[in-house]
Chain A
Amino acid sequence: MAALFSDHLYEAAAMLLFGVGFTTLLLNRNLLKKIIGLNVMDTAVYLFLASMGYIEGRFPPILREGVTDASAYVNPVPAGLVLTGIVVSVSVTALLLALTVRLYERFRTLNIDEIVLLARKGEK
């Protein structure tokens, strides 16, 4: 078990962060904390991808003078995936924040349970 953590430190940290973010997003009742949880969760995946893509001693995937051997560079795809993921997570966060502002203006609370209850009451 200890070897697992020492050999795969970044992956283990990423999984831990993912768990923290996931539970916060799912279980915390405060909307802002939920959004923070979402971002922690997404960031954990980026750490996971970045740690997979990094190989010690190799160059970043930008052509250097005189070095044409592909095995001298790291794989650019994980970095591309991280960038795409960041774009997706920014747009999702923006939408959630906008929705949170709208709901706070209406109900004056950030607690999701209270919001659902108040919305239900408003109907009757």
Chain B
Amino acid sequence: MAPVQNVPFVSILLCMVCALLCAVLPGKAARFLARAVPGLICLGNLALTFAFRDLEPFHYPMGHFPAPWGNELRAGPLEAVCSAALALTAFLSLNAGMRKVRQQIPERKQNLFCVVTLMTLCAVCALLYTNDLFTGYVFIEISTLSAAALIFSRQDDRSLAASLRYLVMNLTGSGLCLMGISMLYGITGQLNMESIRQSLAAAEGPPSLPLRAVMVLLTVGLSIKCGLFPFHEWLPDAYAYSTPASSALLSSVVSKGYLFLLIKFYMRCVGLEAVRASGLATALSSLAGLGLLIGSLHAIRQWDLRRMISYSSVAQISFVFLAVGLCTPEAMTAAVFHMLVHAFGKSMLFLSASGLSDVSGGRFDADSLQGAGKRHFAAGAAFTLGAVSMTGVPLLGGFLSKIYLSQAAIATSGPLSAAVLLLLALSTFLNTLYFLHAVVGIYRPGPLETPPRRATGAGYLVSLCLMMAVNLYLGTASASLYSTLLRGISLFA
């Protein structure tokens, strides 16, 4: 076994061990560790991605027993690329947001904040790499708990209330997932994804009623946790009122773990054919289409910039579900590509919004933010770039993911493909409305007396610049990334 094949296991273990260390180390060391570990994981997974050029996907046994009895990880190009990208987002978000963390989070809680960031990353890595559904469930819960802690780490009224709503909704989602996994275990007698697939493949014909129930339970459970319309009510408060680093992690890293598990469940456990035959794909597409429009319409109505970005997340998550609902390998690739675009774009938007508010007296409403883009050049540029990417302007990531989804939709040729194209056009129009409004707002001539400017720090500026670079890379030079994703998806099933 090549040494690089230990990367998946080491990533998960490193997060766990360093999370424990963060609880006992002095504050400064803990903050350093919380920022360094995501960087290391990103580098390791990048090495694994390049190794996959001549390496086949492999299984990594955990413990003494072989697969159907023991637990195991599964790694392929898709998992490696996604973990590298998500770890990079976490690395950049934490480096950009750490100064704010020190300002907003009580001193004695800062170590615990570092613990939960690392546990979040650990859960996401495990969700990406696990080959066992019940392990998936355990890490879903770990991810939920640490995300709740990320939200209430600020300890003010609104973030506490937001995390309560988050927990209630997300625990109903986990309950549905657990029931679904238990029922699937009852049907197949297996928890390993490949064994489930083999056991289900033995039964001919369209999916049976219990299997349909399992698919609905898992789909609804995971889409509650991602914030798909109509289960999105918890999302805006949770994203908007936590500290910027938390918002960035929640919107770009946490939700992607659940999405990836859902794609894995569809492709590796039940198969795309069964998803289409059960009618679930159509239901998912319809909900996603509605969510795409309603999320954008809500975003237009918001006066708080953070809430606007959060509602835009609702629309973007629906975009991913729309692609998943098409149920073809190309559409799945488009979904994963958009997950990465959204991860880098949304974290950049949340962090640049915090920079803009710093030069506007700490406020987030349109009036106070007037002229903020001129007062803080880097944050203004990053916000503009992120907004433009989300609306889908060429040379940026959002444009390419729309192109990929349209191509996948046209290839399916049916009434659904026309509906998807129409929805894309409508959502682009709505995105332009609210993002353009915000971008014009921050460059409008501001008040004559500028509010006192707070220092943002070198880490913030460097991270924002790197995020802008990654967004440009996704839009201009990502052909090899796309082909890696496509290869990963084809090796997935």
Q: Using a CB–CB distance below 8 Å, which chain A residues touch chain B?
A: 18, 21-22, 25-26, 31, 34, 38, 41-42, 44-45, 48-49, 52, 77-78, 81, 84-85, 88, 91-92, 95-96, 99, 102-103, 106-107, 112, 115-116, 118-120, 122-123
Contact = CB atoms under 8 A, between A and B. Distances in A.
A45 B185 contact: no
Contact of A119 (B144, B145, B161, B172): B161
A91 B186 CA distance: 26
A104 to B, nearest CB: 11
Q: Is the interface of B mostly helix, strand, loop or mixed?
A: helix
Contacts of B172: 22, 25-26
A95 B164 contact: no
Given A25-B168, A38-B171, A92-B171, A119 B160 contact: yes
Interface residues of B, number: 31
B175 A123 contact: no
Contacts of B137: 88
Nearest to A41: B175
A106 B160 contact: yes
Contacts of B174: 92
Contacts of B134: 81, 84
A112 B138 contact: no
Nearest to B141: A88
Contact of B164 (A44, A84, A99): A99
5 contacts: A25-B168, A52-B185, A88-B138, A92-B144, A102-B160
B74 interface: no
Interface in B175-224: 175-176, 178-179, 182-183, 185-186, 191
B158 A120 contact: yes
B374 interface: no
A10 B261 CA distance: 30
Contact of A123 (B157, B168, B176, B182): B157
A26 B221 CA distance: 13
A34 B168 contact: yes
B152 interface: yes
A21 B175 contact: yes
Contacts of B171: 25, 38, 92, 96
A22 B221 CA distance: 12
A10 to B, nearest CB: 12
A122 B157 contact: yes
B160 A45 contact: no
B163 interface: yes
A48 B164 contact: no
B167 interface: yes
Given A88-B138, A122-B157, A122-B158, A25 B165 contact: no
Contact of A99 (B157, B163, B179, B183): B163
B148 interface: yes
Given A106-B157, A123-B158, A81 B167 contact: no
Contacts of B183: 48
Nearest to A91: B145
B138 A42 contact: no
Contacts of A31: 164
A18 B160 CA distance: 28
Nearest to A42: B175
Nearest to B162: A119
Given A88-B137, A92-B141, A115-B161, 15 more contacts: A22-B175, A22-B176, A38-B171, A41-B175, A48-B182, A49-B185, A77-B191, A91-B145, A95-B148, A99-B148, A103-B161, A107-B157, A112-B164, A116-B161, A116-B165
A102 B240 CA distance: 21
A99 B167 contact: yes
Contacts of A123: 157-158
A88 B191 CA distance: 18
A112 B165 contact: yes
A96 B160 contact: no
Nearest to A121: B157
A70 B367 CA distance: 73
A18 B141 CA distance: 18
A83 B10 CA distance: 26
B157 A118 contact: yes
B235 to A, nearest CB: 14
Interface string B442-453: 000000000000
B43 to A, nearest CB: 32
A34 B182 CA distance: 23
B219 to A, nearest CB: 16
A49 B185 CA distance: 9
Contacts of A18: 175, 179
A21 B172 CA distance: 9
A52 B189 CA distance: 10
Contacts of B158: 119-120, 122-123
